[in-house]
Amino acid sequence: MNLDIKQQNVYIEHANLTVNDMKESVNFFKSAFPHFKIRGGDDKLEEWIHFGDDYTYIAIQKSVADLGSKFIKNYDIIGLNHIAFVVDDIEAVTQRLKGAGFKRSYDKAVEKYRIRDYFADADGNEFEFIQYLSNKVEERNSFKD
């Protein structure tokens, strides 16, 4: 079988989150990405919205369940562990999130070719923010040193 494989331009268009508090979720993403805006959905933040820019967004919907407690992240259970965003200035993102009262969910990692920082939103969903320190693909994808 001859497969004609060519490189595709692939990126994540959106992630979909179910949350307890829409306003808290918007606050988290607005803190990380001040340029994000409501692209569609419920302007009153009662049911669902698409929150992002012209190229990527987070679909946020309100939970219909009364959970009563916070979600606890457990990496031993099968499922999505975190979503990562590439950013140009990780220090600015970190300072905005801390300034809005969000806490690190994992230790900041300063590596040879990247800096990674992890924060959780009000529901315990974890997000990684990564700044690459090299434009070379082989260095960006290297985990040596």
Chunked into runs of 10 residues, the chain (145 residues) has average pLDDT values of: 67 88 95 96 88 93 69 62 93 97 95 95 93 93 79
Q: What pLDDT was estimated at residue 1?
A: 55
Which residue range(s) make up the domain with 58?
Answer: 14-64+80-140
Question: How many domains are contained in the chain?
Answer: 1
- The letter for the amino acid at 125 is N
What is the domain-level CATH number for residue 60? 3.10.180.10
pTM: 0.82
Q: What pLDDT was estimated at residue 138?
A: 92
The structure tokens 């260095």 sit at 139
CA–CA separation, 118 and 104 (whole Å): 6
User: Would you say residue 126 lies in a domain?
Assistant: yes
